[in-house]
Every structure is written in structure tokens, then in C-alpha cells.
Amino acid sequence: MGKVKLAGIFALAGATLAMAGAAHAEGTITVASFGGTYQEAETKAFFDPVAKELGITIKQDTTNGLDDVRLQVTGNAVKWDIAEMGADECARGTKEGLFEKLDYNVIKSDGINPQLVKDDWVGISYTSVVLIYRTDVFKDGNGPKSWQDFWDVKKFPGRRALGAFPTESLMVAALADGVPMDKFYPLDIDRAVKSLEKIKPNIDVWWSSGAQALQLVKDGEVDMASIWNGRATTLKTEGAPVAFSYDNGVFTADCMVIPKGSKNKDLAMKALARFVSPDLQANLPMLGANGPVNEKAFDTGKIPADKLPSINSSPENMKHEVLLDPVFWGEHQVEASEKFDNLIQE
Amino acid sequence: MTAVVTDPGKRVDDDSGELNVAVLKRNARNEVWGLLGLCSPSLFLVGLIIILPVGWLFWLSLYDENGMLSFVNYERFVEQSSYVKTFVTTFEVSFGVTAICILLGYPLAYMLSQIPRRAASICMILVILPFWTSVLVRTYAWLVILQRKGLVNDWLIDLGIINQPLALVNNFTGVLIGMTHIMLPFLVLPLYASMKSISADYQRAGMNLGAGPVATFWQIFFPLSLPGLAAGVVITFVLCLGFFVTPALMGGGKVIMWAMRMQQTTSLYANWGAGSALGVLLLAVTFGLLGFFNWLLRGQIKAAWGGK
Amino acid sequence: MSVVLSAPPISIRKIVKRFGSQDVLKDLDLNVAPGEFLTLLGPSGSGKTTLLMILAGFVRANSGSIKIGPDEVITMPPHKRNIGMVFQNYALFPHMNVFNNIAFPLKQRRVDKATIARQVEQALHQVQLDGYADRRVDQLSGGQRQRVALARAIVFEPRIVLMDEPLSALDKSLREHMQIELRSLHRRLGMTTVYVTHDQREAITMSDRIAVMNNGCIEQLDKPEILYSTPKTQFVAGFIGESNFTPVDCRDGVAWYEGRQIETRSQVPHAGQHWLVSRPEKVRVADGVNGDRGNFFTGSVREIVYQGDSFICYATLRDGQVMALRDYCRSDVLSRLPAAGEPIHLRIDAEDAAIVQAES
């Protein structure tokens, strides 16, 4: 009798758990992004409105990008339903088959650069690599305006920092060497490496995180640097004596993927469709430094005209920036990294 | 008391005079098993978290990204000049930091071993104090202190000692400073312990026999402290080899150490094997070097420890 | 090795040493004669080791003077004092073999190699360790280490040798053997020697003179036999050998016990109750309480303890005091010994009766 009773309790408990689990799974997805102020902006722009709209819970996590997703997928421990990463990482992840196919009947890709609309990933926002300089060192607007200026150590003496990221820094080096924006791809990587070699002796720091780049400029450890526009905007807002513009910029996209094996694939698809829709995309530039990936966002009327010059993906700014082509760099990542490392460590 | 009176002519036990042999033998064996049982949890853990993963690491390093058996992960070390350079840098930094730690730590440990125990305990707390702060925090603190417009440069310029700020951080010097700060206790602690165990009578005897303070130090105290120094040096050096945070933050991207390359390589080649190969190589070279140190130090200590 | 021709005297004057608020040595004076074997004897904490450390220069005195011959040494660093020392735990350098340990003081004095080799060999010979030069220190037995330490302390022919309880780590039979060896080595080499021990038997066996120390002062400095037969203080009497303490009344330089005048060679204090000190082996069984000379005591046998070759008889005197008597187990003695509980008469000769002042 005792045994029977006990078994009954277990069965009941098991059923309850299963039901709770089902209910839980039905209305919840987990999204992983890069954290910090950027993810806060995403929360307000995308996650909160979509959660309300679809009546679901969106849980959040932070990620370092492709490596984390690879770890989950290859380890059969996928806990994210949507993950964000750099577009070039997406291109590499595609080759490794780490993502679920996206359903473009659900996701409307109109207004998104076709270079950022692929079978299993889609762009979500734009980040720029810009040239920043300290106005207390270069007074009256006489600072370096282009990457050619940055490379000109005689005309613009001072301490310099570049990112320790092969793709971004090689693109910057190519621009400095005069590679035209409209004929940028396919890029001659060796030419970019040669250009980088010229400036290498004058680079004091190769920064490896956004916070580090910010600190270097803020503390005056360097006088000019390449920096992500989000950090540049923060510096400016904090009142640091700095100047930067989107002229002559390098332009990269973040994208979102559904990791292969996601348990809430369909719901994730619906959420992702809303994330990239023009009306929610238009929220993004009002909340942070990252520009909307969907250019139709500028037609929604949500973005005031005077805000446009400070948005890196505004139609006007976009003309002066070259996109980090995810497919090209996805394919040449290893080559570029090896050459870059060999150069830096020479 | 019940005395067993045995007639010496008669044998009480059939065991040809040997009593309780089996039981005593079993007791001895049980004792061994008992000891083994006591340390088996730690042995199991060591096997589980050290030997197994390291073996797995080695195994992984023999596969390329397509899962084919190959040496491609090792060939890279030869093909890409950056790996050689990283390797050299790693050992340069480790040797440099260890050397500075010896120069700073030896006198410190000596001082601590000679002053009264109470004062030594207080000083010891100061030595260990940095352990209570995270490496990251300490490293950032050094950045603030050493950078171009940091405290040190400001003071030196204000005092008129220098005109141009010194490059103290975001380079090799910065890495040395930051790592020395973190590693110093690892050298001082074993050294202090071994110095403390050197009886004061040895130094008294040295002086009594006509050796001045300097001669007493070099001929008596120093050789006796060598085993402790060797222990500290090995700990410091090996820990240096695997350093990540400090060189990453204070090297300005120019001082790239092996651990940083492991992370970067694993990510770049989308393949555990690529990073594993770095681990295997470092492990092998470290073992080789430790063997060499051991051989060298034993020779040194032996030389300092007598023979005619 | 040549005999030290002119072993110097040591003259210690008014040494004061304080550790914090504690006075370890209080205005201590001591003269050591040239070539003398002098022992500092005392319980732990009496200051004997501190005094030795000050002599060697390892501990700095607060004030005072130490002269070796005509030279003031208290201001000299230890390595310039040229004093040989044997440490309690020998302090042989573990990283050197026997040869290098003994050669160490010679090397410090820049002696040439050939001379070093010869002198080390001689020193090893002196301590009967020929052929041990290449041994490692940890390969030696306790006694052998002791000898190496001794060889190292004398190899550079110091004018003075200090020894800090050098035999305390040895077992009894080896210790007794080494006592004799040390003594004969001293006789051969003739260096002025200051020896520290807490073992009164060792002190008596070896010393020319003994300084008994207590509480940072020297209580008595005398030859061993005088120290034993005529202790000057209660402490000395109690510390050296076994003693019976019998209370006596002193009046006008005469000591009285139960109305009898005590015959003694000691100086008797003028007034007050003090102690008659007697050694058990000097107490004898008497036939009665009357005799032509000596001091007589009456009591009853409380207990007789047989110790093989000898026995101790504890007698309770009439006033309750216990007096012990020790003698050999000879039939003539035993035949006169009453059984336990029976009355007994005891006699102490005047030469064996010392009067010491009671400690306040």
C-alpha cells in the first residue's frame, strides 16, 4: 500500500513538472546579445515591445559571439533561441552549419541591405569604426579627418591606437592606402597588410575591447584612435575633448541567428521578424549609437530630421562609409588574421 | 594476570614457531588500503579534472577542423611566424618577471626572516594583501597609475625629473610591472618559509668563525636558502607562462602571450584542436624546461652545497 | 696543533643586559684566569647563555666591559673576536662536508690551501676523526658531529673557546666519555674555556672553577670541591648535589640546634634562623648522641630505600625535619642500621656542616 501511494505521488509530481515545463516553453524565448548599453537599447527598442505584442516572455543573456554559439550547438546544449554576433561571424557560422534556416515568409527583409539577408542569418543593427581624436591636442578642428591623415605621422604627430581586430583594421588600412570605397571588394589583403605595416611602428596600443579604446582616449593615453561609434558617442556625451565623424568610416553590421537546435524556433522566428521590422528598428537610434539595419526605419517618421547626421546608418552617412562585407571576410578571416598576427608580432 | 607457562620442550603452536602471521600480514595490508582509500577522492579528482582533460586536449590537437587526423594544428607553429614570436615573448616575459621577483623578493624575504615574528607577520599581511583584490582590478589600477597622464608620470614631471612622459604601460615594461606585482607573493612565501627554517645558529657560527656579515650571507645563508628560492622560482615561472589578463591589458596589444593566443586560435580556427595544440606545446616545453631547471639547480645547489 | 702559548684572561665588568623590562644580567662581574676551564652553571633563565652570547658577540649588552687580555672586545663585531665556539646543536653547515666545515674559519683568514689541508687534518686527529674529511654532515652520528664542531672551534687556534651545553644532545654514556675527552683536550691545548651547562655533575667533573648563576647574578664562584662542601647560599646548596636543610638558630656567630651548639667551619650569621646544610653521604649513623666531636641528631627511621650499591635512609628528626643519610650497602653499615620506625642517631662532622643564610 505504501509503495502504491508513493508511486502515485511521484507520478503526480512528474505530471505537474511536465505541464509546468510545457507552459514555460510555450511563451518564452531567450535572446543573447552583447550586453551593456547596447543591449539596454535593444531591450527598449525590440525586446520589451515584442514581448508585450506576442504575449511572451523574453529572457536575456549575454554572449561573446560566434564562439559561444558554437560551444552550445556542438555541445548539444542550446539554451538560446536568438543570438547576436558580428556579420562576419555569421558568415563563418553558416559554413559550419551552426544556425537554423530563417523563414523569409515570416521575416520581411525589405529595406535591409541584401548583403545582410542570408539563408540563416539577418542583420539587426549597424556599428561604425570611426576615427576619433582629442581636440585638446589638435585644436581648432585641425585634427586628422581621414585614415590618410591618421597614417600621416609627420603632419599629425601623436600617439595612436588601432583595434586588434584584423578585419576592421585591415579595412581602415586599405582606406588609408587609397582603395576606393566603390571598388573596395574583392579587397587585396596583401595591399592592406602593407599599408598597416607602414603605420605599425607608430601604433602605441592595439586595443582589444571597446572599454579599453574608450579609456585610452579618455585618459589621453593616445591622441587619436580607431573606435566604435558607440564608444565615441559616449565619450562625447561625457564631455571628453574629442571629435569624430562618419566620413571615411568602416561600417559593420551585427546580425541575429537562431542557433541550430533551438527549442522555440517558431516563436523565435516571429520575434526576430518583429525585431527587424521598420517601426521597431526606428526605435534603436533614439536609444543608442547603433543605427537601424532596415533603411525603411527612416520612412516611419519616428526619427526626426535633426537626428540624422548622428546616426551612422542614415542614408547620408552611409555614402561615406564602406561596409564590412560579411561574406568576403567570412571567407578570408583566417588568412587575414594570420597575416595580421604575423605583422603585429613581427 | 594469567601467565601462560610453556614447557620449553613442548610446542604450543603448530605454526612452526611463528604466531599470528596471517592476521598481522592482513592488518598491514588493510592499513595500506585504508591510506589508499583516504586519498582516493583526491586521486579521483586529479584524474578527473587534470589527467583526463589534458589527455583529451592532446587527443583533440591531432584533429583538424574537419575532424580528420592531421598535424595541421602543429604545422601552424612553423608556418606562421607569429607563433614563434608569441612563444619567445611568453618566455621573455616569464624570465623577466621571475628575475625581477627574485631581485625584489629575495631581500624582502630575507628582511622578513630576520625581524621579530610579530613585525614579520604584519609585513607578511602587507605582502599578501594584493591577493585579496582581483587581478583585473589590480591591473586596471596599474594602468591608471602608469599611463602617460598617470600618477607616476605626473609626479616625475612635476618634480622636474623628466620632461617627456615615460612609456610605462601598454608595452613590455607595463607587462613586467603588472605581472611582478601579482607574482611577487608567490616567490616570497615559499622563500620566507624556507629562510625562517634556517637556524640563526648557522649565521652565528659563520660570524664566530671569522666570516664578516657579507661573507656569512653569501657562504652560509644564501646556499641554505637556495632550495626555497628554487621552489619560489618554479612556481612563479610556471604561473607566468599561463598569464592572460595582465599582459592582455597592460601590453597594449603588442605583448602577446601564449594563453592569449590559445583563446584567439581556438576562436579563429573554429576548432578545439587548434587551441589544444598550443596547450600541448606549452605543457611539453614547460615540462622540458622544468626538467632542465631541476637539473641545473640541483647542480648549482650541489655546487653551493659543498664538494671540495 | 700547537698549544696556545699565551692563553689570555677574560675580565668581565659590570655587564647589564635587559630584554624589555626584564633584567637578564645585573651588573655582572667575572674574571676567568688564563687557560682556565670555567663553567657557568645555573638553571634555565639564570642568564648563563646570555652571558655566553655576549662574550661571543651575538647579543649586545646594555653596558659593561669585556676584556680579553688587554683588549676591550665588547664593542667588536663577533667575526673579529677570534673566539672559538661550540654550539648546543653544533651548527655544522649542512651544505658543506666535514673538511669544508673545519676549513671554514681558516678560509676566512685567507690561509693558504696547503696549510688548511694540514691544519684540518690535525684538528680531525685531535678529535679522533681521522679519515672523515669527505663525509657529509648528515652521515655523521651525534658524537661525531660533536667532534667536528669541536675541531672547527679549535682549528684556528682561538685564544678563547666558548661551549654552549655542547654535550646535552648526547646520550649518557657518550656524554660521560666526551666529558673526559674535552677535559684532556683542554689540558693539551690550554685555551681559556668558558663552558655553559645546567648539569651540575658535568660541571663538577670538568671545571677548574664553577660560577653558579641565578637570576642574572653569580651566586658563588669556586672550585668544584669547595662549592660542594661549602655552599655559600641556600640556592647553591640546593642546586648542587643532594642536601639536607636543617633549620638552626644563630646568635652572636654561633648556631644552635635543640640547645646544642653546631660545630662548623662556616661563617655563621649573627642572628636569625638559618640553615644547616649537610650532604646525605656525609651523615653517619651514631651509637648515641654523645661523642667527642661532631654534631648529633636524634630521630626515627621513616623509610629506607635500597639502590643496589647504596641505600638512602630518611630519618624524621624530633622537630619533624627529615634528614637523609646515604651509605654503601656494606655489612658493617647495614648491621648498625635500625629498622623502619625505630629510633636512630645521626652524626655530622664539623667539616661537613655548612651554615647558609636563609633566603629572604
pLDDT in tens, C100-126: 999 999 999 999 999 999 999 999 998
What Rg value do the Cα atoms of chain C yield, rounded?
25
Give me the domain span that covers residue B135: 88-256
Q: How is residue A300 written as a grid cell?
A: 516611419
Examine residue A201 and say whether the peptide bond preceding it is cis (omega within 30 degrees of 0).
Answer: no
pLDDT for the residue numbered B183:
92
Question: Which partners does chain A have (≥3 C-beta pairs < 8 Å)?
Answer: B
Is B116 at the interface with chain C, CB within 8 A? Answer: no
In chain A, where does DSSP find H-type helix? Answer: 2-26, 36-42, 48-54, 66-74, 87-96, 147-151, 166-176, 189-199, 210-218, 229-238, 265-275, 278-281, 284-287, 315-318, 326-344
Is B165 at the interface with chain A, CB within 8 A? Answer: no
Regarding the domain delimited by C10-229, which CATH topology (the fold level of the hierarchy) does it fall under?
Rossmann fold (3.40.50)
Chain A partners within 8 Å of B256 (Cβ) = 341, 344-345
What confidence tier does A19 reach under pLDDT thresholds 50, 70, 90?
Answer: very low
Contact B201 C84 (CB under 8 A): no
pLDDT for the residue numbered B69:
85
Q: Is the pLDDT of residue C291 over 70?
A: no
> Does a structural domain hold residue B99?
yes
Pairing assessment for the beta strands A242-257 and A82-86 based on DSSP bridges: antiparallel
How many whole angstroms separate alpha carbon C40 and alpha carbon C162?
A: 11
C and B in touch (3+ CB pairs within 8 angstroms): yes
| Adjacent-strand bridge partners of C311 | C306, C327
How many whole angstroms separate alpha carbon A226 and alpha carbon A168?
A: 9
We report the CATH number of the domain holding residue B197 as: 1.10.3720.10
ipTM of the complex, rounded to two decimals: 0.82
DSSP E strand stretches across C78-198 = 83-86, 160-164, 192-197
Chain A partners within 8 Å of B85 (Cβ) = 345-346
SS3 at position C190: coil
Q: Out of A70, A212, A342, whose CB is closest to B81?
A: A342
The whole-angstrom distance between C134's CA and the closest CA on chain B is 8
Same fold, A25-126+253-321 and A127-251+325-344: yes
Is B89 at the interface with chain A, CB within 8 A? Answer: yes
Question: Which partners does chain C have (≥3 C-beta pairs < 8 Å)?
Answer: B
> Yes or no: is domain C248-356 CATH 3.40.50.720?
no
Contact B205 C93 (CB under 8 A): yes
* Percent of chain A residues topping a pLDDT of 90: 75
Domain count, chain B: 1
Q: What is the mean pLDDT of residues A236-241?
A: 93
Q: Out of B148, B256, B267, whose CB is closest to A220?
A: B148
Regarding the domain delimited by A25-126+253-321, which CATH topology (the fold level of the hierarchy) does it fall under?
D-Maltodextrin-Binding Protein; domain 2 (3.40.190)
- The whole model's pTM is what? 0.80
> Does a structural domain hold residue B281?
no
> Does a structural domain hold residue B293?
no
Q: What is the residue extent of each domain of chain C?
A: 10-229, 248-356
The whole-angstrom distance between B107's CA and the closest CA on chain C is 21
Chain B partners within 8 Å of A219 (Cβ) = 144, 147-150
> Does a structural domain hold residue B216?
yes
Give the A:B interface size as CB pairs under 8 Å: 62
Among the listed residues A94, A141, A139, A84, the one whose alpha carbon sits nearest the alpha carbon of residue A119: A94
How many whole angstroms separate alpha carbon C78 and alpha carbon C54?
A: 9
Give tens-digit pLDDT for B102-149.
Answer: 999 999 999 999 998 899 999 888 888 878 888 888 888 898 899 988
Q: What is the residue extent of each domain of chain A?
A: 25-126+253-321, 127-251+325-344
pLDDT for the residue numbered A13:
46
Among the listed residues A130, A302, A308, A324, the one whose alpha carbon sits nearest the alpha carbon of residue A224: A130
- Output B300 or C318, whichever has higher pLDDT: C318
Q: Which DSSP helix (H) or strand (E) runs through B34? A: helix B21-46
pLDDT for the residue numbered C194:
95
Contact A207 B249 (CB under 8 A): no
Of the options 3.90.660.10, 2.40.170.20, 3.40.190.10, 3.50.50.60, the CATH number for the domain spanning A127-251+325-344: 3.40.190.10
The whole-angstrom distance between C298's CA and the closest CA on chain B is 45
> Of C95, C106, C119, which to mutate for an interface test with B (greatest number of B Cβ within 10 Å)?
C95
pLDDT for the residue numbered B79:
87
Residues of chain B with pLDDT under 70: 1-17, 300-308
Contact B170 A342 (CB under 8 A): no
How many whole angstroms separate alpha carbon B248 and alpha carbon C174?
A: 66
> Does a structural domain hold residue B33?
no
Residue C119 near residue C97, CB atoms below 8 Å = no
Give tens-digit pLDDT for B150-172.
Answer: 899 999 999 988 888 888 889 99
Is C241 at the interface with chain B, CB within 8 A? Answer: no
pLDDT for the residue numbered A15:
44
Contact A344 B269 (CB under 8 A): no
Chain B partners within 8 Å of C93 (Cβ) = 202, 205-206, 220, 224
pLDDT for the residue numbered A23:
40
The whole-angstrom distance between A345's CA and the closest CA on chain B is 6
Give tens-digit pLDDT for A250-302.
Answer: 989 999 999 999 999 999 999 999 999 999 999 999 998 899 999 999 999 89
